[in-house]
Amino acid sequence: MLDKSLIQAFEDETTISHELCCSFLRLDLLHRVVSGNKLFKLKYYLEEALSNDKRGIVTVGGPHSNHLVASAYAAKQSKLESIGLVRGEEPARMSETLRDCLTYGMELKFTSREIFDATTIDMMQGQYPDHLVIQQGGYGKAGMLGAMDILKIKGTEEFDYILAACGSGTTGAGIIRAAHPNQKVVLISVLKNNFSILDEINALVESPEKNHPDFDVLFDFHLGGYAKKNTTLFKVMNSFHSTHQIPTDFVYTGKLVHGFYQLAKASFFPKKSKILLIHSGGLQGNRSLANNELIY
């Protein structure tokens, strides 16, 4: 059980009605590298690899992937090998994320976008039979079961609404499965027109022994698509940090905050609602930004 101090209350008089109680669950504070939800999503994959005497893990991601660097560090700590299939040709200059992966012992294999997108789990497992394959973003049952543990944190049961950014849908599925019947889960998709995510979430959530709580996936707050950014996003992120001293990243949590403010302005939440936003970490991705785009 984690300390309730991870839940940080905040209020912005210019955008949020005093009749809403809003808090942030600071999963970004749990670990400096295996940041936020990655700590939870990787837990049972690593246990599976160890219990099945695998030599290591193999997983996939882009050159700035939070998942790749977290997997590299977690595998090293578990005394497992790690292989990362990186989307795109090998760059002339490695990103800071990829340099960290190498530091943590991950073997990087660069693949063209076409081959990367066509690579299946079965193909990877056939190529690396002594390794456990982890899908992009930790998608899968083990990742979902780990994400369920997020709502074991003391105090999360007190909220009416739980909001999180949504990429692969793994964390969202775990939160939906673990939420109480009286809680509503709202997921902010960070990908444009990613409507298939509903099927992917439902494929993980479906359980004959439990009717899961109500949830929504909202597709209007991606601000151009995955990892896209603009002045609106940076204005929200900078203002939020100035007011509350909470840093966000431009791929996930910045768009979560943006979506939350838009929903609050539109009276999406009933009066007196208690709302919890989940900080899924990933701040290392901000290293790819120009120095003058964020004030922190």
With 0-12 CB in 10 A as exposed, 13-18 as middle and 19+ as buried, what is 2? middle
What is the predicted pLDDT for the residue at 1?
A: 38
Average pLDDT over residues 81-109: 97
Q: Which residue ranges make up each domain of the chain? A: 4-32+142-288, 38-138
The pTM (predicted TM-score) of the whole model is 0.94
Q: Taking residues 162-167, report their average pLDDT.
A: 98
pLDDT at 167: 96
- Say how many residues make up the chain: 296
pLDDT at 14: 64
pLDDT band for position 16 (50/70/90)?
Answer: confident
Identical fold between 4-32+142-288 and 38-138: yes
Please count the other Cβ atoms lying within 10 Å of the Cβ belonging to residue 230.
10
Which pLDDT tens digit goes with each residue over 193-236?
A: 999 999 999 999 975 445 667 899 999 999 999 999 999 999 99
CATH number of 4-32+142-288: 3.40.50.1100
> Exposed e or buried b for every residue in 169-182, given b needs 16+ CB within 10 A?
bbbbbbbbbbbeee
Q: What is the pLDDT of residues 256-286, one digit of tens each?
A: 999 999 999 999 999 999 999 999 999 999 9
Q: Is the pLDDT of residue 154 over 70?
A: yes
The structure tokens listed for 108 are: 């990087």
Q: Are 256 and 164 in contact (CB under 8 A)?
A: yes
Q: How far is CA 286 from CA 64, 250, 289, in A?
A: 9, 7, 6
Q: What is the DSSP string of 174-209?
A: HHHHHS-TT-EEEEEE-STT-TTHHHHHHHHH--TT
Q: What is the mean pLDDT of residues 33-39?
A: 96
Mean pLDDT of 153-161: 96
What integer pLDDT is reported at residue 27 of this predicted model?
A: 97
Give the SS3 label for residue 102: helix
Beta bridge partners of 57: 82, 132
* Beta-ladder partners of 56: 81, 131
pLDDT for residue 57 is more than 90: yes
Best mean pLDDT range from 3-7, 11-15, 267-271: 267-271
Helix (H) or strand (E) holding 60: strand 56-61
- Chain mean pLDDT for the chain: 93
Neighbours of 228 (CB within 10 A): 15
What is the rounded distance in angstroms from the CA atom of residue 95 to the CA atom of residue 256? 25
The top-level CATH class assigned to 38-138 is alpha beta
pLDDT-derived band of residue 2, with 50, 70 and 90 as boundaries?
Answer: very low
Q: Which helix (H) or strand (E) holds 8?
A: strand 7-10
What SS3 state is found at 6? Answer: helix
Copy the structure tokens of residue 236.
């929200």
